[in-house]
Amino acid sequence: MKWVFLDIETTGTDFRRDRIVEIGLVVKGKRGRPKERAFLLNPQAPIKKRAYRVHGIGYDDVKGAPTFPEIKSELLPLLKGSVIVGFNLLSLDIPFLNFELYRLGEPPLLNPVVDVRQIAKVIYEDAPNSLEKLARYLGIEVKNNHRALMDARITRKVFMALKERKPEIFADVDGLESLTLSNFPSKSVDILRIAREHGWVHIKYYSHRYGLSEWNIRPITILKSYVIGDTGEGRFKYFNVMRIIKISPPSFGWI
């Protein structure tokens, strides 16, 4: 099993409109030492002041860097077939990466995922809500550096510390992912699992304005309260999870 410890830095917090400026990866396979990669990217979008105050990456740092499409062929093989581990990754890292892929007409990442933030909360009721504070809570030395590779390294150290404290819950990937998704609605989890098997998902959806409708979607982002799906029509659409009536494999033969 290949494990990828992932962190990204961005131009802002809106994964629909903001872009990635840096990706950090620590890749650990069955054998050998972990391999590290960092990609500094030209986001082709303004870096917001609030984001700059976090990571310190400015226009002068990225103006000569490659764009996401230029590093895609190098990045995706590192992620293929891996379990992706991160901190709050289902709300940030995965949506940002999937929107970058969506813009290129590529399928989304649907890898098994482990969120150390959620795992920590299962083990410790008072676990902090930031990666830096969680690391210090676990006795891990942290430098005040919010660059992607540094945070990916810290994520791996946090993962290993949690595993040392509660090894029984790290016995299998499915169990870890179930803990990661334990506070997600069952509908969101069903969408993820069907998408992994078929690529697309068929949903029946009710809205007050349009009534009952049916959609085949390729999930870009799966969150607790809503799903953003590629409808195959050159656009994406929001679906409130509470208004999804039925979830099933895709219904059209051309998908």
Structural domains of the chain ordered from first start:
1-183 (3.30.420.10), 186-248 (2.30.30.520)
Predicted pLDDT of residue 31: 77
| Listed residue (164, 161, 118, 123) closest to 140, CA to CA | 161
Q: What distance, in Å, lies between the first and last C-alpha atoms of the chain? A: 29
Q: Is 238 exposed, middle or buried (0-12, 13-18, 19+ CB in 10 A)?
A: exposed
Structural tokens at position 243: 């208004």
Task: Enter the pTM of the model.
Answer: 0.95
- CB 41 within 8 Å of CB 22: yes
Predicted pLDDT of residue 255: 43
Predicted pLDDT of residue 253: 53
- Count of positions (residues) in the chain: 255
> What string of DSSP letters covers 67-90?
PHHHHHHHHHHHHTTEEEEESSTT
Predicted pLDDT of residue 251: 82
Which DSSP category does 109 fall into? P
How many other C-beta atoms can be found within 10 angstroms of the C-beta atom of residue 166? 13
Predicted pLDDT of residue 188: 96
Structural tokens at position 115: 């969120």
Predicted pLDDT of residue 111: 97
Predicted pLDDT of residue 254: 46
Predicted pLDDT of residue 126: 93
Positions in the chain whose pLDDT score sits under 70: 144, 252-255
